Structures are given as structure tokens and as C-alpha cells.
Amino acid sequence: MINISVPARICFFGDHQDYLGLPVIAGAIDRYFHVHAKTNNSSSFDIFLKDLDKRIKIDLNDSLDNIQENDYVRSVMSILKKNGMEFIQGYDLEIYSTIPVNAGLSSSSALIVSWIRFLLQSQQFPGKPDNKQIGQWAYEAEVLFFNQPGGLMDQYSIAQGGLLFIDTESGESEALNPKLGTLVVAESGLAKKTLSVLKNARVYAQNAIQAVQGQYPDFEILNATESDYERYKHLVPEKYLKHWYAAVLNFHITKCAKTELSGKNPNTKLLGDLMNQHQAILQNQIQNTPIEMQQMMEAAIAAGALGAKIIGSGGGGCMVAMVEEHTKQNVIEAFLNSGAKAAYPVNITEVS
């Protein structure tokens, strides 16, 4: 019997930055994707998706030549096969999750990482890949394989666990102090609009940066400072100006948060204020936060939350709030009373 549990993730700082090659701060949380598997006598994977009440059967000898869009189970198999995996044993699998689907907590990336971990345990593979490599394969299987517009944050943070500062250019990560205070996740009940939000935000931000580089070819967004927004904004077309602001100022906020989280006793009130600044940019410049979710977060702040932000690409999905222990229940009730589908405490977790 093989049992796999893989966590969800929250991006705390740096949303809409990883596809620009800018760093992010993300953490794995204690909501999980579970895989239970036992060997069978067939040459196939017989998969029961419990939450969907759906069954999938995959032959071990599947050519993997014609993989449908978003078929992450087969895209993972294709990636691992190209890296030397041999599929030698069939399994009956039950897969279920406590991660809300299409809500910003990266249920799809958790599925992919859990499937990779299962295959590495159950099939024949040369070597023992580390967690970073698992994150890279997950990124290849989810984003690059289907030419989707996301970055590598989700896969890397889920595969490695804890709270990480991730250099999305190199893939290198640095463990940060996970003491963000008490955390509350709220599910808005609104479906996330991942691909449309990501595509527009990515293209607009890239066009803004290219406009600056048209006059200053040596300009690199990785070297940008807070003052560069004003310095170069006259070069950016009006259509892309909000995303230019977001690229530069969100980067600055992420660097400030990293400095605070690199110490022994992070100031949670300061981090909450940085989270609110980040959310203001997501809301006003990236424009990824529906009015209903804005109202939910305003209610959470009024109930004592230190900071609150939308999670993931936006358009719907989940929110996270930083709270103090004595205000936790008040914030949960504020989310629920303002229309949230669910609200509950979560913790940063390591990969087991």
C-alpha cells in the first residue's frame, strides 16, 4: 500500500510576478491532496477520483502520443518516461482532496506533485530526485507541456514545503521564517478565472517592460527599484501603465517582506500592512478581485485582521487573512457573514 499526501499552497507576496521572472514568497499549508494505492494484477492504473465520483483507466503501455489538454496524469507520465521511468506495475488508486478546486490554492499542482511522488515510489526510475526536481517536473507537466501562461511558483512551493522565497528565474529557493501569525483561509464561492486573468496580466506587464527597454535596452526588471515606476512611466503606453506600476511596486513589496521574514521574530503587523499594500495593487492595477471578495476582505479587516489578500491568479477563488489568535474567530465569522462559502484556520507545513 502506498499513501501520499501533498499540501496546498498560498502565495503571500509576489502574485503575478513569477511569469516576469521576479521572486515570490509562497508557503505550503495543511490542506492536502491524498493518494491511496495498492497493486493490482492488471497492466493499468485504475484511478478513482472520489471527489468527482469518476474513474480513469490508463494502460501502462499507453503511447502518450495524443494527450488531451489539461490531462495532467498523462503529461506527468510523458515527462517522467522521457527522463527514464519505466511503467512496470499496475495499481488501483483512490484520490481525494481537502483542497477546494478552482479556488487559488493550487489543487491542480498538488494533484500533479502527488502523482509524481506516487510514480517515483511505485515504478522503476533511475536515481533519487530531490524536491526541487520534483517541482521542476510538475512545472513542465502543468505549464510547459500545454503552453499555459503560469510560472513555477505553485509546483516548486508544493514540492518543497515550508515558507519559501523563490527566485523564479533560477528556481533557487530560500527557506524563510514561517511565523506569519495565525492564518485564515476563506472560500469566496466564486469560480476562479485563471487563464484569462493570467494571460492579460502577463501580456500587459511584458509589454510595459518592453516599452521601457525600447528606450533603455539595458533595463532589467530584476534590478528595478521603487522609484523606477516614476522614472520610466512616461515611456509606457497608457494601456499598460497599471501593469507597469504592479510589476515594479509588487516587486518592492516582496523584497520588503523577505527582509522581515529573514529575521528571528517577524513583525506580523508590518507583514499584514505589506499584504494589504499587495492586495491594493492586485485589486486596483491587476484588477483581479471581484467586488464581492473586496467586501469580504474589508469585513475581515474591520473584524481585526492584520492583512488580507486574494490568493492565486484571481477573478474568484480564495482569500487569506493574517490575524491574531484572539481575533481569529471574529475574522472567520466576518468572512462568513459577508458571503464567504467557508472560512477556516490553516498553518504553514513542511513536506513529510
Per-residue pLDDT at 197: 62
pLDDT in tens, 293-317: 999 999 999 999 999 999 987 788 9
Is pLDDT above 70 for 193? no
**Strand pairing category for 182-187 and 54-59:** unpaired
Quick one: pLDDT band at residue 93, thresholds 50, 70, 90? very high
Whether residue 62 contacts residue 81, with contact meaning beta carbons closer than 8 Å, is answered with: no
CATH of 182-346, one of 3.40.50.300, 3.30.70.890, 3.30.70.360, 3.10.450.50: 3.30.70.890
* Alpha helices (runs of H) in the chain, residue ranges in sequence order: 72-82, 107-122, 131-139, 153-160, 194-215, 228-232, 241-261, 268-281, 291-302, 328-337
The C-alpha angle with vertex 246 and arms to 242 and 251, in degrees rounded to 5, equals 160
Cell of 172: 533557487
Region 107-122 average pLDDT: 96
Write the CA distances from 184 to 52, 68, 99, 311, 318, integer angstroms. 26, 36, 14, 12, 10
Its CATH architecture, for the domain 2-175, is: 2-Layer Sandwich (3.30)
Residue 307: enclosing H or E segment and its boundaries?
A: strand 307-310
Cβ distance 161 to 173 under 8 Å?
Answer: no
Instruction: List beta partners, residue 185.
Output: 320, 344
User: Domain locations in the chain?
Assistant: 2-175, 182-346
Model confidence, pTM: 0.92
Alpha-carbon gap, residue 148 to 99, rounded angstroms: 22
The pLDDT score that the predictor gives to residue 352 is 66
Q: Which of 89, 91, 96, 90 is nearest to 54 (CA)?
A: 96
pLDDT for residue 195: 54
What local confidence, expressed as pLDDT, does residue 105 receive? 86
- Cell representation of residue 239: 494601456
Q: What's the pLDDT tens digit per position in 154-189?
A: 999 999 999 999 998 888 999 999 999 899 999 999
Grid cell for residue 55 = 474513474
Residue with cell 498538488: 110
